Amino acid sequence: MSWPSRRARTFPHGVHPPEEKQFARDVPIEVVPTPAAVAIPLLQHLGAPCQAVVASRATVALGDVVGRAEAPVSAPVHASIAGVVQRESVATLPNGRHVTTVPIKAAGEQLEGQALYDAHFGGDWPLAGLDEIAPAEIVAAAGEAGLVGMGGAAFPTHVKLAPGPRRPVDTVLVNGCECEPYLTADERLMREAALPVLVGAKLVARAVGAKRIVVGIEANKPEAIAEMRRLAPELGIEVGVVATKYPQGAEKQLVYALLQRIVPGGKLPLDVGVVVSNVATAAALARAVLRGAPLTHRVMTVAGHGVREPKNLLVPIGLRLSEAIEAAGGLTDDAARVIAGGPMMGFSVAYLDAPVTKGTSGLTVLAARDLDAEPERACVRCGRCVDVCPMGLLPTRIALAARYGEWELAGSYHARLCVECGCCAFACPSRLPLVQLIRVAKARLAKMTA
């Protein structure tokens, strides 16, 4: 199939995994009680870790800076509860990285319950005057609030919002696709807090100088679409319904679906005049700019057959994953796999002591019956992976090259362009670990060119 295909509102290829949104889509966001302690990782984003600026035993209030960003591509971290700082420790994040954390033991008065919810989503969101805020002011507020992309990649927002004059941006896409199965945090946010999302989108556009704003939502979220459509026209924002297909929320696929623009290989949406921002990031930006509040909490889904009461939770950053699971009723007896994020791109977790980070969109807990018992077999070269790859690659070829350590061959099959969405391994009838093998090839290739 040749690119571009002129089928609007979606992208070529992709897969249709079971949606599994029924677990928590109709469960309102619930505020978790203040935990006894949190552990704030000093690296939660793409880029350099930040430096701890609080000493052990210091008293911190909610929102105090705990780690300062010193590198240009980095983001500060803040206390997500009021309390006393403990000795620095190390945690293993779900992606396998070991990071330094600053533990905080809860002490003193806490902002919690409905008050915390209202501080995030309630109250007034002034629509007038948004256009008077200076772009530099928005970028600075995003930087100080420690904003990062909350859809998963966790790229520092202030870097994204300051693209520089060389690359003009005409359109902001707000990503409300949430194409990962099980996850419903973004959907709940759009249904319960559409206004901060839209105000945030307006601020993103103001910062990058874009005229047009489009919110992209998958067709399987009619309530969210209705709510956004109710409020968006007032702010001059369009709502674009896109097909329910995985990975619709991947940047390049969303840009293509909504704008029919193709991001060149190895480039960013910025190179075709687009900035893509997740709905949760937009809401956090609105909070940062209009309320001066740093990113201390996020909404995450805990869902699947492996938890007793699937929920969407407003959690403090640094909360232990096990506590998030407890807040959702705990694991069932047949819980078999805990995944940080959705089941397609998420990482399975070995230690439930790991902290929630700014990029943790949810926990998918699968029961034994959800796991695939099919054995791995030899590749039968059926080409299903080729048929579904949204980047138009030959996944089985890259994986085979990786198996034999032929890194340059893997590179000649464009391994670098793989976005690790997992469509190939999802569709593979021989159950080959294609994504894993391609990741190895990508890592080797990155080392070779570095």
Partner 1 sequence: MTAEPVRIAPAPALHVAPGPHLTVSDFTARRMMADVLLALLPVAGVAVWIFRWYAVLQIAVCVAAALLAEALFSRLRRRRAPLDDLSAAVTGAILGLSLPWSAPWYVGAIGAFAAIGLGKAAFGGLGQNIFNPAMVGRAFVMVAFAASLAGGAYVRAEAALPILTQATPLSLAKGTAGAVALPGLWPLFLGNVNGSLGETSALACLVGGLYLCWRRSAAWQIPVWTLAGAAAAAVVANLLDPATPLTVLHHLFAGALFFCAFFIATDPVTSPLSPRGRAVFGFGVGVLVVLIRTLSSYPEGVVFAILLMNSVTPLINRGTVPKPFGGAVELPGGAK
Q: Residues 395 to 424: which contact partner 1 by CB under 8 A?
A: 396-397, 408, 411-414, 416-417, 422
Rule CB under 8 A: say whether 383 interacts with partner 1: yes
β 274-278/238-242 pair status: unpaired
Residues 235-274 that bind partner 1 (CB under 8 A): 252, 256, 262-267
Least Å distance between CB 123 and partner 1? 39
Asked whether position 387 contacts partner 1 by CB under 8 A, the answer is: yes
Indicate the residue type of 322.
Answer: S
Nearest CB to partner 1, comparing residues 17 and 176: 17
Binding-site member from 382, 405, 443, 446 for partner 1 (CB under 8 A): 382
Nearest Cα residue to 352 out of 371, 325, 370 = 325
Q: What's the order of all strands across the beta sheet hosting 212-218? A: 238-242, 212-218, 171-176, 274-278
Q: Which parts of 97-206 are beta strand (E)?
A: 98-106, 171-176
Integer angstrom CA distances of residue 434 from 392, 422, 423: 15, 8, 10
Residue type for position 74:
S
Residue among 43 and 335 whose Cβ is closer to partner 1: 335
Site string for partner 1, 205-224 (x = CB under 8 A): --------------------
Taking CB under 8 A as the criterion, the residue among 372, 404, 447, 450 binding partner 1 is 372
Tokens 């700019």 belong to 289
- In the shown chain, the binding pattern of residues 2 to 31 toward partner 1, with x for contact by CB under 8 A and - for none, equals xx-------xx--x-xx-------------
By C-beta, is 298 or 384 nearer to partner 1?
A: 384
113 vs 429 by CB, closer to partner 1: 429
394 binds partner 1 (CB under 8 A): yes
CB atoms within 10 A of CB 315: 25
* Cβ pair 282, 298 in contact under 8 A: no
Total residues in contact with partner 1, by rule CB under 8 A? 77
Binding residues for partner 1 restricted to 98-157, rule: CB under 8 A = none
The three-state (H, E, C) secondary structure of 378-439, written as one string: CCCCCCHHHHHCCCCCCHHHHHHHHHCCCHHHHHHCCHHHCCCCCHHHHHCCCCCCHHHHHH
Contacts of 224 (CB under 8 A, 6+ apart): 176, 187, 190, 191, 194, 217
Count of other CB atoms within 10 angstroms of residue 319? 26
Residues 149-188 that bind partner 1 (CB under 8 A): 181
Is the peptide bond preceding residue 429 cis, with omega within 30 degrees of 0? Answer: no
CB of 275 to partner 1, least distance (A): 17
Locate all alpha helices (DSSP H) within 145-210, ordered by sequence.
Answer: 157-160, 185-192, 194-208
User: In the bound complex, what is the minimum distance in angstroms from residue 12's beta carbon to partner 1?
Assistant: 7
Return the residues of window 426-445 that contact partner 1 according to CB under 8 A.
426-431, 433, 435-436, 439
Find the part of the chain contacting partner 1 (CB under 8 A) among 59-67, 118-126, 237-245, 326-334: 326-334
- Out of 37, 62, 85, 425, which residue is the one contacting partner 1 (CB under 8 A)? 425
Least separation, in Å, of the C-beta of 231 and partner 1? 33
Between 223 and 334, CB nearer to partner 1: 334
Coil, strand or helix at 14? coil
Q: Given its phi and psi angles, is residue 9 left (phi above 0), alpha (psi -120 to 50 degrees) or beta?
A: left
Near partner 1 by CB under 8 A, which window of 136-144, 217-225, 285-293, 393-401? 393-401
Contact track, partner 1, 332-351, x by CB under 8 A = -xxxxxxx---xxxxxxxx-
